[in-house]
Amino acid sequence: MKVVVIGASGTVGKSVVEELGKRHEIVTVGAGSGQYRADFTDIAQVRAAFEQIGKVDAVVVAAGSLHFAPLAEFTPEQFYVGLNSKLMGQVNVALVAREYLNDGGSITLTSGIVAEQPIRNGASATMVNAAVEGFVRAAAIELPRGLRINAVSPTVLEESMDSYGPFFIGFEPVAGKRVALSYVRSVDGAQTGQVYRAW
Ligand SMILES: NC(=O)c1ccc[n+]([C@@H]2O[C@H](COP(=O)([O-])OP(=O)(O)OC[C@H]3O[C@@H](n4cnc5c(N)ncnc54)[C@H](OP(=O)(O)O)[C@@H]3O)[C@@H](O)[C@H]2O)c1
């Protein structure tokens, strides 16, 4: 299969590329890295990238920024960081991928454990991750041509503990290699509308 990975150079993305790359041709995309460049918050850039890439069999997104802060200090602008990036960036990709996927192809988005297990400073993260999962469940029943869409909800990765560890006290980190298997199940499997919990 030809598989586009958006966010391929990231902590999650690198593990996903390594696992999927064992069986599939990978096309890497990032805002400032990868074989093709697209800032996924701008749907025109996403469309331009797919125009160059052409037809594909699967699209994976392992990207999306979020702002973390105490609820008492959160500003609307800070909420829009996650809404514009992790939510609408991924929705943009799904909307465009629908047109470039071969029949029976798949879209795999990324949410996160805080969708279900809130943490301090995580109001935006919980909101956005839950919205990504809601989008996936709803889009799955409307996609044409046997197209599938799922989300992977990773817990904190072992590789990210230096940066995210203090936010995730008491959470068991998981190796990127294991998280990547959930993306593999979405791409190589047959389910749709699912949230694969990589915990
Ligand atoms: N790491 C964890 O422990 C963890 C746990 C749960 C969920 N997640 C979720 O997994 C996703 C990836 O996290 P990560 O830790 O792997 O992040 P990361 O290491 O910061 O990597 C982010 C990736 O996304 C790309 N990217 C960033 N902004 C982009 C944009 N506007 N348009 C297109 N691509 C963009 C980056 O490439 P460029 O720099 O080239 O743009 C990079 O490849 C996020 O949604 C995060 O919330 C991560």
**Domains in the chain, ordered, with CATH?**
2-198 (3.40.50.720)
Regions of the chain short of the pLDDT cut 50: none
What pLDDT does residue 182 have? 98
Nearest-atom index, ligand 1, CA of 156: 3
17 lines ligand 1 (CB under 6 A): no
For residue 60, the SS3 value is: strand
Cβ within 8 Å of residue 85, ≥6 positions away: 40, 41, 63, 64, 65, 66
**C-alpha span between 7 and 179 (Å, rounded):** 15
| pTM strictly above 0.95 | yes
What pLDDT does residue 64 have? 98
180 lines ligand 1 (CB under 6 A): no
What pLDDT does residue 84 have? 98
Q: How far is the CA of 86 from the centre of ligand 1 (A)?
A: 9
Q: How far is the CA of 170 from the centre of ligand 1 (A)?
A: 23
**C-alpha span between 22 and 128 (Å, rounded):** 31
Q: How far is the CA of 36 from the centre of ligand 1 (A)?
A: 16
